[in-house]
Amino acid sequence: MLNNETMGKLRSMRLTGIADALEEQEENSAYREMEFGDRLGLLVDREFGRRRRNRLQRLVNGANFANSSACVEDIRYDDDRRLDRNLVLELASCNYVRHARNVVITGPTGAGKSYLAQALGQSACRQLSTVKYFQLPYMLEEFQMAGHKGLETYNRLLKQLVKVDLLILDDWLLFPVSEEDTVVSRVFRKSLIQTIAP
């Protein structure tokens, strides 16, 4: 019989996946027929899966997608969209992220560029890469507000963005950019290049 103290310790150590799986094993007599190593393997698998799901959820939440349900599996390849399925699947592998390459998605308004970008961002999250999604006007606005708060705040925001594995900038130059925004862009670009350069 399972000891309540053991369950309490598991939960206090935040091993809730193991605790839940252990309770299930205790309630189901079929598990008693299994070898100890097999049962332990199932417990560890449950905990590993729970932690991976939690980490994925944190990455998706942290990305701030406008459409958090966008995914590569739901992309439509209708003839009028002229999307190359093989190219999209190659991009979904996120090799471009690992090699610090840029991807530019172009097309007319309503073609699904934002959805595709966010679906690729979701793929990167699934591979446990950090992602940040911004509509360009809002990113520039954040930089302006940080700049007004002081150099320390500005630099902190800059460092946060430079650390991200994949930065998605949507609505690129859809609206006029002020002179102050171009200064922000130059500083950000210079910082990014210094980070990527060997």
Q: Do 96 and 172 fall within a single domain?
A: yes
Q: Which of 63, 89, 106 is the last residue of a domain?
A: 63
Q: Do 128 and 191 fall within a single domain?
A: yes
Q: What is the per-residue pLDDT for 198?
A: 41
Q: Which of 32, 63, 94 is the last residue of a domain?
A: 63
Q: What is the per-residue pLDDT for 59?
A: 94
Q: Do 41 and 86 fall within a single domain?
A: no
pLDDT truncated to tens, each residue of the chain (198 aa)? 467 888 888 888 888 888 888 888 888 888 888 898 898 899 999 999 999 999 999 999 999 999 989 999 999 988 888 889 999 999 999 999 999 899 999 888 888 899 999 999 999 999 999 999 998 888 888 888 887 888 888 888 888 888 999 999 998 767 666 666 565 555 555 555 444 444
Q: Do 50 and 118 fall within a single domain?
A: no
Q: Do 33 and 88 fall within a single domain?
A: no
Q: Do 49 and 76 fall within a single domain?
A: no
Q: What is the per-residue pLDDT for 197?
A: 45
Q: Do 52 and 104 fall within a single domain?
A: no
Q: Do 150 and 173 fall within a single domain?
A: yes
Q: Do 103 and 184 fall within a single domain?
A: yes
Q: Do 29 and 114 fall within a single domain?
A: no
Q: Do 90 and 183 fall within a single domain?
A: yes
CATH of the domain at 105: 3.40.50.300
Return the ∠ at Cα 145 (arms to 104 and 63), rounded to 5°: 45
The pTM (predicted TM-score) of the whole model is 0.74
Q: Do 132 and 178 fall within a single domain?
A: yes
Q: What is the per-residue pLDDT for 145?
A: 86
- Token representation of residue 56: 């994925």
DSSP-based three-state secondary structure for 95 = helix
Number of domains in the chain: 2
DSSP-based three-state secondary structure for 134 = strand
Q: What is the per-residue pLDDT for 179?
A: 66
Q: What is the per-residue pLDDT for 111?
A: 83
Alpha helices in the chain (DSSP H): 4-12, 16-27, 36-63, 85-92, 95-98, 113-126, 136-149, 151-163, 179-196
Q: Look up the domain containing 129 and give its range.
A: 72-196
Q: Which of 63, 83, 98 is the last residue of a domain?
A: 63
